[in-house]
Structure 1
Amino acid sequence: MNCLSFSELCCLFCCPPCPGRIAAKLAFLPPEPTYSLLPDPEAPPSARPRGAGRPGGPGEGRWKLQLSERAEFQYSQRELDTTDVFLTRSSRGNQVCCMYIRCAPNARYTVLFSHGNAVDLGQMSSFYLGLGSRINCNIFSYDYSGYGASSGKPSEKNLYADIDTAWHALRTRYGISPESVILYGQSIGTVPTVDLASRYECAAVILHSALTSGMRVAFPDTSKTYCFDAFPNIEKVSRIPSPVLIIHGTEDEVIDFSHGLALYERCPSAVEPLWVEGAGHNDIELYSQYLERLRRFIGQELGQHA
């Protein structure tokens, strides 16, 4: 999420605006891609991607992940080689790049992770490997339209279509049932996560530095949801049937702590939240209570909810 000047805000909201325009102004900062997809040289000819070398082209077949230095990958080639990457098409016609990392051989759960802004799968790959191994879960993630190797342009509607595509790919390609999936959204990633979780039941939902709505980020005194608001998490979170863990830093400088509190109060299926004293928007993972809370939630509490 990026800050707007007063003049930009005036221009944005005086039209009246459409949700897509609010979303584009407030949220999307796709980075220069930090990875590329190459045809798997070890795949038999029948399994090689058509349109090889063109991630925006047909996605059938087997790909290899090639990371740039900017991805800052912290593991060995062996871990990279065990990472599945593939392209699948969304209902809105965009190619969505997906990644599946087998972090834990006997994992009970797979985390469907919707990442934050200004990063892509290449930059997140090291974090996913570390997180999955520490919480004993496999990790499945995807890039939003216009991010990484995913085609199209980022928009609110595309966010919802992108996660739908990822959800169905996880279930059909790997045969993973909904009761074995934990939906995890971070920052802007909480928007597609809340939307999907309000429509499908799963093992659990984790909302990390979540926003209530686009208008409430731009105008903190906003107390109602307008028809032109974007990202209305506050209106959907009450419809989530699965257990919800909300995590927020008390000193979040991008999405104020009050957003986490408001979502917790509105969500009837919320469990004990994690308020990280002194944490900002991008450093919660550095606090020891972050992993401690995730392990307790996944390893102990989910069994009680089952």
Structure 2
Amino acid sequence: MSFFNYIFGPKLYMEYRGVHEPQRKMYEPGPVEKFGEQILSTLSVVWSVSYYTSPLIFTFLYRRGYFVADSMPTLAKLTTSVGLIVIISLFMRGVGRRQSRAYTSMINALTLAKVNSSSDALRRFDIDFSAWPVDFDVKALAGDAKKPTTTAIRRDSLSIATLPCELIAYVAIHTFGLSMIYPGSVKLLQKFMRPALIAGRAKLIEEDNGIRYKVKTIDSNEIDTLFIDNRNDNVGNGKTLVICSEGNAGFYEVGIMATPIALKYSVLGWNHPGFAGSTGQPQPEQDKNAIDAVVRFAINHLGFAVEDVILYGWSIGGYSTLWAASIYPDVKGVVLDATFDDVLYLAQPRMPASLGGIVRVAIRKYCNLNNAELAEKYNGPLLLIRRTEDEIIAEDNRIDTNRGNYLALSVLKYRYPNLFGSTQLSLAKALLSKQLESYSYTVAEEKLCMSRLITYASDEGKSFPMLIGADYSDEMRSQMAMFLLRKHLRDYNSSHCTQLPGEFFSIPWDIPIEHGFVFT
């Protein structure tokens, strides 16, 4: 084994339970490795700070005369000294790692995985994921006629008339703006959360038999995923796969996977580009390519039929979910929890009113997460879950301002335009201003509404927009509208970030079709 493998090998975080380790074991570097690693870590922090403050540093050094010829030998000596410290620290790290049984076992497993393209032995270890070999590359599916080949590649152009505003918007979104929308991509936050993420992965792997995979996207990002296979559980929901898309500061290690896992579904979690082990940035184009690759991985590598897949998104993960649903329309259903209609209406109130125009340009041009618009491209079963005490997508926790209300009304108005006229929309808004439990319908009313839907869908099909109700009275439309609202939306009496209880997660409702059915 080359000594350079120890010097430049990945960080080892944990060794999972196995033959050699009856209990999970956090990797503890020896004193030699630890000392060398501390020096390298300190130099890394100094370099990062220096990089971001370089204009100030260069100005200071220039005024002190460090860039004149007489000062160059001093700078050269300083550079040489720092270089020597780095070399000694790297050597110490290599020596320390070579003395570790756990690290040597990991390096052997990593080498074997790269040679044999098998990660089985490596799965005993939690390492820096950048060193993990690719398990599935979506580019290998080029020319696959069975699956969509849509790729989210976008070309942005500037308009001369609005050039100043667009330039400011571009700079804002590509500096601090994207980090504000996706704070989970901030490395400092990830460093703070690393112990929780490591522990969360360990639980999923050891207690739920999770398997970690690296999926490579069409734009060459590497996506960190984890799969839990419950297909052998004949009494559970294991034949159905739930693909989970996390929120803007969520990670699969500590995220929404827990809900479908408890219900014994097979579950596939993934991290957005730039989150934890995933490379890239959470720009819409990269995020679309990421979820596309994850779905292809589920179909082509894990062996699930698209009809057996439920797409589950929480908060901003609803955008990823709806994008996947739009290009994989035959999925079993879509579940959206605490999801909004349009990120623009969440971004504008959080910025000064004077910057409203720039915010609009930045969102519409570079981060247009418009779920209401995207939902119109999916015709399948859809379940929306609204948090009644949501403090993130509602103003002052007021249920009537919850952006999930607008998403629900937008979806229903598009799908059933004749049933959701002005009168029905007003009734629906009034109903959504309070908890849905305040409205109920009788068994007879439910049967009547179902009969009307089944009759129409059986005769005309159930593609959307569905034109049922053109000849209905206003009272009949209102009855149908309230019925459909309750079928598509459920209330959970909680805030935005709490774990969703299992009783609120279910396969979305769909209109059954009975050929030859006649409503009387």
Could you say whether these structures have the same fold, taking a TM-score greater than 0.5 normalized by the shorter chain as the test?
yes
Q: Partner of 2:495 in structure 1?
A: 280
Distance of 2:339 and 2:135 partners within structure 1: 36
Q: Partner of 1:244 in structure 2?
A: 382
Question: What SS does the aligned partner of 1:263 have?
Answer: helix
Measured against aligned partners, the alpha-carbon deviations of 1:162-182 in whole angstroms (never above 9, x if no partner) come to: 100101001011110111000
Aligned residue identity for 2:405: L
CA contact (8 A) 2:225 2:268 kept: yes
**2:251 equivalent among 101, 109, 120:** 120
Question: What SS does the aligned partner of 1:236 have?
Answer: helix
CA contact (8 A) 2:260 2:505 kept: no
Question: What SS does the aligned partner of 2:311 have?
Answer: strand
Structure 1 pair 68–48 and aligned structure 2 pair: CA distance change class (3 A): farther
Q: How many equivalent residue pairs?
A: 249
Aligned residue identity for 2:250: V
**1:291 equivalent among 502, 507, 517:** 502
Question: What SS does the aligned partner of 2:241 have?
Answer: strand
**Structure in which a larger fraction of residues adopt helix:** 2
RCO greater where, 1 or 2, for CA within 8 Å and sep 6 or more? 1
Q: Partner of 2:211 in structure 1?
A: 84
How far off is 1:93 after superposition? 1.5
Alignment of 1:126-165 (within 5 A): 128=257, 130-165=258-293
Q: CA RMSD in A?
A: 3.4
How far off is 1:304 after superposition? 5.1
Residue 264 (structure 1) aligned with residue 408 (structure 2)? yes
**2:133 equivalent among 59, 69, 82:** 59
Measured against aligned partners, the alpha-carbon deviations of 1:132-178 in whole angstroms (never above 9, x if no partner) come to: 34323111111111111111222121111110010100101111011
Distance of 1:123 and 1:39 partners within structure 2: 28
Larger Rg: 2
**TM-score with structure 2 setting the length:** 0.43
How far off is 1:68 after superposition? 5.9
Distance of 1:175 and 1:39 partners within structure 2: 31
Q: Which runs of 5+ in 1 are unaligned?
A: 1-37
Runs of 4+ in structure 1 off by over 6 angstroms are none
Residue 172 (structure 1) aligned with residue 294 (structure 2)? no
Distance of 1:90 and 1:178 partners within structure 2: 19
Structure 1 pair 254–164 and aligned structure 2 pair: CA distance change class (3 A): same
Aligned residue identity for 1:99: L
Q: Partner of 1:193 in structure 2?
A: 321
**TM-score with structure 1 setting the length:** 0.70
Aligned residue identity for 1:194: L
Q: Which runs of 5+ in 2 are unaligned?
A: 1-105, 137-192, 416-463, 465-483, 515-520
How far off is 1:303 after superposition? 9.9
How far off is 1:253 after superposition? 1.0
Structure 1 pair 284–276 and aligned structure 2 pair: CA distance change class (3 A): farther
Distance of 2:377 and 2:308 partners within structure 1: 20
How far off is 1:58 after superposition? 6.6
Structure 1 pair 156–133 and aligned structure 2 pair: CA distance change class (3 A): closer
Structure 1 pair 75–262 and aligned structure 2 pair: CA distance change class (3 A): same
Alignment of 1:24-43 (within 5 A): 41=109
Quick one: percent identity of the two aligned structures? 19
**2:227 equivalent among 90, 97, 100:** 100
Structure 1 pair 77–171 and aligned structure 2 pair: CA distance change class (3 A): closer
